[in-house]
Amino acid sequence: MGVLRPSLRLAVVLWLLVALAGPQAARAQSFGRGGIGPPSTPPPPRPDAEQFDEPDPLTTAVVNWWQRLSRGGKDPSRKRAMELFAQGDRLFLQGRYAEARKKYKAAALWWPDSPLEEDALLMQAECYFFEDNYRKAFDVYNELLKEHEHTRHMDRVTRRLYAIAQYWLQLNKVSPHRTLVPSFDTRRPMFDTEGHALKALELIWLKDPTGPLADAAIFLVANTHFARGRWRNADQFYTQLRQDYPNSRFLVYAYVLGLQAKLQTYQGPGYDKTPLEEAEKLAEVLLTQFRDELGDQWQRVVRTRRRIEVLKAQRDFEMAEFYARGGHYGAARYYYQQVVRKFPNTPYVQLAQKRMQQYANEPENPPQRFQWLARLFPERKTGPRPINQPSGVPGGQTPEVLANQPGRAGAKR
């Protein structure tokens, strides 16, 4: 072929510019950055919200172009993909994981959007796992769960994630690493080893809530927070385990450790009593329903139950003391009596009895120290009036007012 004439070359260049600028201009207009056409022209409205989840045509075209380029400009081939996958299996069995990973990746490119691509992604993660590159293995397992939410390899993926999380938690315990300092050890994440371990455990029960490791993952997360003294987080996950997995093998431990976490969240008599009441319910359940399963923990739960009684008696005693300091001895005597009646086996009983004898002759309420101010305001106030007056009542006056007026029949004397 001869050299193209200048006019023909110019036409080809213009056609390429228009073809390449078209999708980019459309994307630019959708984000309000202008493009080809009038700047004031608004983007066309979307008829349905589901269109936001559709893949971007430009991104899809680039991905397809890159995959085709990786295949040497050839169309997808199932046969070629199967051959590469088989080669990867042979290398994997020989322990040549780096070479096997390349074969699996190439097999996925030769047959995209297929069950083989899902298998190839799993095997890439397996190669990283057996290379002890747990950082990359976690990323690829996570990618597999994102692209194939209901993957048929869920059991293997959750087992790997659980093993990685356990290793990271133990490694962070033995060799702690600062969160903001990068780590170049491929066996652990670059930042926040414990946080990534908890994320791996979270993926297990979120992606496979009915799987064999879901309750174990929640229990391990709760224990991690418990060991760190993060009592509210520990209580949250122990509660989740008790509610969502009542048949779990960790149920008794979730009650025992959840009881301790509840008590740790209680801040004292001047704060909310909800954690104390919930802890009391947990103790009652343990002493009634899990007596045989508690074993050596039985005495510990009994002591905790007595401690809860002491804390509840302290709340009522402190409330009585509060009223006594303000001179409201009637209310104070009431709470002292509550301590004596409801908590007879606590050390606050003797203190309450002593206070009751001390304030036995005191008045119910403190004296009024501003009598001159109280006289300025009447004690009896007129009640609210209805908007629609009853028939036969003149001038918006209520029947009670009319009945009390002098000279009327039925007036109150």
Give the DSSP letter string of 72-131: TSPPP-HHHHHHHHHHHHHHHHTT-HHHHHHHHHHHHHHS-SSHHHHHHHHHHHHHHHHT
Residue 237 lies in a domain: no
Q: Do residues 203 and 183 share a domain?
A: yes
Q: Do residues 112 and 140 share a domain?
A: no
Would you say 237 and 221 are in contact if contact means Cβ atoms under 8 Å apart?
yes
| Residue 356 tokens, joined | 């009751």
Residue 67 lies in a domain: no
DSSP for residue 380: -
Q: Do residues 78 and 150 share a domain?
A: no
Amino acid 176: pLDDT: 83
Amino acid 404: pLDDT: 52
Q: Do residues 125 and 157 share a domain?
A: no
% of the chain residues with pLDDT over 70: 71
Q: Do residues 164 and 190 share a domain?
A: yes
Q: How far apart are CA 74 and CA 77, in angstroms?
A: 8
The b/e string for 106-124 (b: 16+ C-beta within 10 A; e otherwise) is bbbbbbeeeebbbbbbbbb
Helix, strand and coil in the chain, % to nearest 5: 65, 0, 35
Helix (H) or strand (E) holding 12: helix 6-30
Residue 169 lies in a domain: yes
Amino acid 71: pLDDT: 55
Rounded to 5°, the CA angle 137-142-147 comes to: 125
Q: How far apart are CA 200 and CA 167, in angstroms?
A: 11
Helix (H) or strand (E) holding 299: helix 297-325
Mean pLDDT score of the chain: 80
Q: Based on the structure, what is the number of domains in the chain? A: 2
Q: Which SS3 state, helix, strand or coil, does residue 45 take?
A: coil
Amino acid 312: pLDDT: 93
Residue 152 lies in a domain: yes
Q: Do residues 207 and 145 share a domain?
A: yes
Q: How far apart are CA 393 and CA 410, in angstroms?
A: 15
Residue entry with tokens 């133990």? 170
Domain end call among 212, 245, 263: 212
Stretches where the chain sits below pLDDT 70 are 1-77, 369-375, 378-413
3-state SS record for 130-165 = HCCCHHHHHHHHHHHHHHCCCCCCHHHHHHHHHHHH
Residue 374 lies in a domain: no
The b/e string for 360-375 (b: 16+ C-beta within 10 A; e otherwise) is eeeeeeeeeeeeeeee
Would you say 123 and 132 are in contact if contact means Cβ atoms under 8 Å apart?
no
DSSP for residue 294: H
Domain end call among 186, 212, 238: 212
Would you say 307 and 263 are in contact if contact means Cβ atoms under 8 Å apart?
yes
Q: How far apart are CA 407 and CA 409, in angstroms?
A: 7
Q: Which SS3 state, helix, strand or coil, does residue 192 take?
A: coil
Interhelix angle 348-358/297-325, nearest 10 degrees:
20
Would you say 287 and 293 are in contact if contact means Cβ atoms under 8 Å apart?
no
Amino acid 391: pLDDT: 56
Phi/psi of residue 151, each to 5°? -65, 145
Q: Do residues 110 and 175 share a domain?
A: no
Q: Which amino acid belongs to residue 284?
A: E
The model's pLDDT over 173-216, given as tens digits with 9 standing for 90+, comes to 888 877 777 888 888 898 999 999 999 999 999 999 999 999 99
Domain end call among 129, 151, 170: 129
Q: Do residues 114 and 155 share a domain?
A: no
Q: How far apart are CA 389 and CA 313, in angstroms?
A: 53
Residues spanned by the domain of 122: 73-129
Residue entry with tokens 């490119």? 109
Residue 182 lies in a domain: yes
Q: Do residues 141 and 189 share a domain?
A: yes
Q: How far apart are CA 161 and CA 15, in angstroms?
A: 51
Residue 114 lies in a domain: yes
Q: Would you say the C-alpha torsion 311, 315, 320, 325 has a positive or negative sign?
A: positive
The model's pLDDT over 103-125, given as tens digits with 9 standing for 90+, comes to 999 898 877 877 888 999 999 99
- In this prediction the pTM is 0.71
Distances in Å between the alpha carbon of 157 and those of 91, 181, 205, 213?
21, 29, 12, 11
Q: Do residues 124 and 78 share a domain?
A: yes
Residue 355 lies in a domain: no
Q: How far apart are CA 142 and CA 125, in angstroms?
A: 9
Q: Which amino acid belongs to residue 104?
A: Y
